[in-house]
Structures are given as C-alpha cells and as structure tokens.
C-alpha cells in the first residue's frame, strides 16, 4: 500500500490501514471508503490444501460480493492464498465520494499518497488499534435493503443515512448507535466508544462472550428496524 502511493499509483489508497494480510484480502473482499479489493483485482495464486497443487483464480472465479468471496463459501478452508495480482493506475483517478473523506479534501490537486494519509488519520481517530485493544474490526456488514423498506424507515427516521447506487445500504453503525449500544461495556466485552461497529475484548472475553453480545445487538436491531444484521467476521 505504501509502495503504491509513494510511486503515484492509484486504486488501493482507500484501503490503507486495514489490518490483516494480503493473502486474506481476497477472502473478505476487503473494502473501505467506497473502494473494494475487487476494483483492482486481476487474479491470485493459491495452494490446494489437499492436493498441494498451485491453482490460479481469475476475478470471475472468485465470486466477489460485499465482504464476500468463494473462499468464504464453497471453498472455505480449502486453499492458502500465496500471491495476489492487482492492476493499479498511473493516471490520476480518485475515489473520494465517501462523505467523511470528501469533507477532509480541500483541493483537487490531492494525490494518492495524500489520500492515504487522510484515511490513516480518520481510521486512527475512529478505530481502536488491535495491538492495544482486542477487537475484530468491523463486526457487522452494512445491511442491504429494498426501496420500499427504505421508504418505511425514512418515514420514521427522516435523517437516516443511506447509500443508494446499484444497491441500497444502511450504515450498521447508525442502527446500533441509534439503539444506544455505542460505548456499552459488560464485565468482559463491549462496543467501542468511538465506533458502534467495533466489538472490543477488554477483559479476556471468550468467543462465546462476543457472540452473545452480537446476538443481543442483532435482536435489538431487528426488533426496531426489521433489519437482520449479518456478521462481517468469519465465525467458525
């Protein structure tokens, strides 16, 4: 990421500071601030854990979706990804439509390295460092809803934020915060005070503790909004 922006290449700067490895990125189809890995993805190499053979997966083979891929479904736990090929751009091309990002940009001469620095600053302010506070990053996906469902929600909550394009998404963080979960803590875990999507482990909580908290949040959101949240993290 640093190398690409330092060399004035465009395409993945919006993904800066997402924790994890390059090999894991296609599995999740990582994304942030209006950008997803699939936007620049070309192909990957992986090792079949049974046959030990190297296999090439082109973009169409990966069945990318919103924080999803074939490696989270049909091929889950069957391959180790060893190499990822991305196609970046030398010609300036910025993806700055995300509201929080756009508000930080003061001129149209900004480059990919400056975008990266802005995003790192935003993430450092909003998200806990996993080295200091145990967490699994964004725990829930932003739910995809239908137009008629959005109309119903707007009638009750006129200021509800949403992203409307090919699909309509509601920020899961807004739903959770609206129900006063942001900053919640029990004796083991809780919701990060600066971001409602982050479940934190502050006192040696178990996976069961985290899941129980997540279930309570999902139940509340469904009861109030008739929206069933879906986990972004992989639960084994």
Catalytic residues, which ones? 67, 138, 232
Closest to 173 measured CA to CA, from 227, 118, 132, 119:
227
Most distant CA pair in the chain, distance: 56
- Give the Cα separation of 70 and 142 in Å (integer): 20
For tokens 């006063």, what's the residue? 180
- Give the Cα separation of 160 and 88 in Å (integer): 35
By the 10 Å C-beta count (0-12 exposed, 13-18 middle, 19+ buried), 164 is classed as exposed
Cα radius of gyration rounded to whole Å, the chain: 19
Residue 25 has φ and ψ, to the nearest 5°, of -60, -45
Give me the DSSP letters along 162-225. -EESSSEE--HHHHHHHTT-TT-B-SSEEE-TT-TTEEEESS---HHHHHHHHHHHHHHHHHHH
């Amino acid at each position: 990421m640093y190398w690409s922006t330092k060399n004035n290449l465009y395409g993945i700067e919006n993904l800066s500071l997402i924790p994890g490895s390059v090999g894991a990125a296609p599995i999740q189809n990582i994304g942030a601030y209006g950008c997803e890995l699939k936007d620049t993805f070309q192909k990957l190499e992986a090792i079949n854990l049974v046959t030990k053979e190297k296999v090439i997966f082109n973009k169409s083979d990966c069945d990318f979706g919103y924080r999803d891929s074939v490696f989270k479904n049909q091929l889950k736990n069957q391959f180790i990804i060893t190499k990822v090929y991305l196609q970046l751009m030398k010609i300036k091309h910025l993806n700055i439509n995300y509201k929080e990002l756009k508000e930080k940009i003061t001129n149209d001469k900004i480059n990919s390295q400056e975008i990266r620095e802005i995003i790192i600053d935003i993430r450092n302010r909003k998200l806990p460092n996993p080295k200091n506070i145990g967490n699994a990053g964004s725990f829930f996906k932003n739910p995809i809803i239908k137009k008629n469902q959005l109309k119903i929600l707007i009638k009750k909550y006129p200021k509800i934020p949403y992203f409307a394009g090919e699909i309509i998404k509601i920020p899961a963080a807004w739903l959770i915060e609206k129900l006063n979960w942001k900053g919640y803590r029990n004796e083991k875990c809780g919701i990060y005070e600066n971001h409602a999507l982050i479940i934190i482990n502050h006192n040696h909580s178990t996976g069961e503790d985290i899941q129980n908290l997540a279930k309570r949040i999902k139940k509340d959101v469904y009861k109030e909004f008739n929206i069933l949240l879906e986990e972004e993290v992989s639960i084994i």
